[in-house]
Amino acid sequence: MLQALALKVFFFVPIWALKIFFFKKLTVIRGHQFDPQAAAFLSVTPKTNLSVLSDNQIAETRKTIDESRKKNKLSLSPSSKITKKDHLLPNHKLLLREYQPINCDEKKAVLYFHGGGYVLSSVDTHDDMVSYMSDSLGIKFYSLDYRLSPENKYPDSLNDALEAYAWLINKGFSPKEISVCGDSAGAHLAASMVHYLSNRDLELPGSQFLIYPMCDPSCSTESYELLSSGYFLTKSNMIWFWDKLRGHKEDDVDSSFNLLKFDFEKKLPSTIIVTAGFDPLCDEGEIYAYLLHKGKHNVKQLHYPTMFHGFASVTKLKAAQIAVEDFLREYKKIL
């Protein structure tokens, strides 16, 4: 109750005041100071150690976390009206929500996959974020409610993504006019689908935009050690997410599961990768960008050194809003 109240009043507190109140909590990692408003925000945000949950506790925890996120409204609203329409895909009756901004390009579409470690979140939890992006870019978004783990192990979510991609093509969108996009687990799912298509010489989407992607199930980079806790996403929760997604041990060498195992000499679309300086996933995102560059692909990494994992869905934070507006300008260039 107190935490919910704190979040409601938090965004009315001047940033200069937060710098004073949270001065001792402002840490410096790799030469960059954590954003003071972000530090204050995380201090009043409820935290859950997911790694201690048994499988039969996940559904209730998922419901609690998702309801809290929908209620707190941490993303900015679009500046103009977005028309929404829900579609059901034939297999498993999956929800695919269409977002249509005013005066959009009818020939282009973004297929979006939400984050949440493949265990949490939904189309609804990311509704404000996707609406904001659709409005800012002036392009239709289609957000998929793919099946979650551990009830549905890899590659179930990949199959859902492929179904949504095929559905868009059947609706008349050219693959080259489709961009795939996602945050965290959703970014992994976008790249996972692209790897799957490339490995089979199937038609690729025109671009991919990956916001702080999960890439490597080993969870062994330096950023995992430097940022193992205290910055929203923890190392223990991340290991747990991978474990809940993994269907078999052999998945760790599957290039649609472990993105770093891909043969980067194969064809891939133009790619933008967003990383954050206070994110355990920072280094693996940078490694993935490097491997794309080494394979002579058109890739750009956008790094926000004072931000944390999840900042794109908290655009009521001033620095997060500035970062999101910046990366959307870059995204528009490859659509």
Residue among 71, 35, 70 nearest 231 (CA): 35
Query: How does pLDDT run across 84-112, given as a tens digit for each residue?
Result: 999 999 999 999 999 999 989 999 999 99
> What is the dihedral sign for C-alpha 157, 232, 251, 180?
positive
User: What domains lie within the chain, and their CATH numbers?
Assistant: 57-332 (3.40.50.1820)
Per-residue confidence (pLDDT) for residue 118, from 0 to 100: 99
* Of 9-18, 30-39, 199-208, the least confident: 9-18
Say how far apart CA 254 and CA 260 lie, in whole Å.
9
Q: How far is CA 63 from CA 70, 121, 222, 242, 257, in A?
A: 11, 9, 33, 20, 26
Per-residue confidence (pLDDT) for residue 20, from 0 to 100: 58
Say how far apart CA 103 and CA 78 lie, in whole Å.
14
Q: How far is CA 313 from CA 4, 173, 214, in A?
A: 17, 28, 16
Is 114's pLDDT higher than 90? Answer: yes
On whether the CB atoms of residues 98 and 141 are closer than 8 A, the answer is yes
Residue 17 confidence class, pLDDT cut points 50, 70, 90: low
Residue 13 confidence class, pLDDT cut points 50, 70, 90: confident
On whether the CB atoms of residues 277 and 303 are closer than 8 A, the answer is yes
Mean pLDDT of the chain: 94
Per-residue confidence (pLDDT) for residue 112, from 0 to 100: 99
Residue 6 confidence class, pLDDT cut points 50, 70, 90: low
Residues of the chain by 3-state class (helix, strand, coil), percent to 5: 45, 20, 35
Q: Which residues sit opposite 142 in a β-bridge?
A: 98, 111
* Of 32-36, 185-189, 217-221, 235-239, the least confident: 32-36
Tokens matching residue 151 = 């009830």
Residue 59 confidence class, pLDDT cut points 50, 70, 90: very high
Is 326's pLDDT higher than 80? Answer: yes
Q: Where are the alpha helices (DSSP H) in 44-149?
A: 55-72, 127-137
Residue among 164, 158, 246 nearest 200 (CA): 158
Is 260's pLDDT higher than 70? Answer: yes
Residue 66 confidence class, pLDDT cut points 50, 70, 90: confident
User: Under DSSP, is residue 148 helix (H, G, I), strand (E, B) or coil?
Assistant: coil
Per-residue confidence (pLDDT) for residue 11, from 0 to 100: 66
Per-residue confidence (pLDDT) for residue 177, from 0 to 100: 99
Residues whose CB is less than 8 angstroms from the CB of residue 256 and which lie 6 or more positions away in sequence, other chains included: 155, 158, 192, 193, 195, 196, 199
* Residue 121 or residue 1, greater confidence: 121
Per-residue confidence (pLDDT) for residue 16, from 0 to 100: 60
Query: How does pLDDT run across 204-230, given as a tens digit for each residue?
Result: 999 999 999 999 999 999 999 999 999
On whether the CB atoms of residues 256 and 158 are closer than 8 A, the answer is yes
Say how far apart CA 174 and CA 60 lie, in whole Å.
40
Sheet holding 140-144, edge to edge: 82-89, 94-101, 140-144, 109-113, 178-183, 207-211, 270-278, 299-308
Residue 37 confidence class, pLDDT cut points 50, 70, 90: very high
Residue 202 confidence class, pLDDT cut points 50, 70, 90: very high
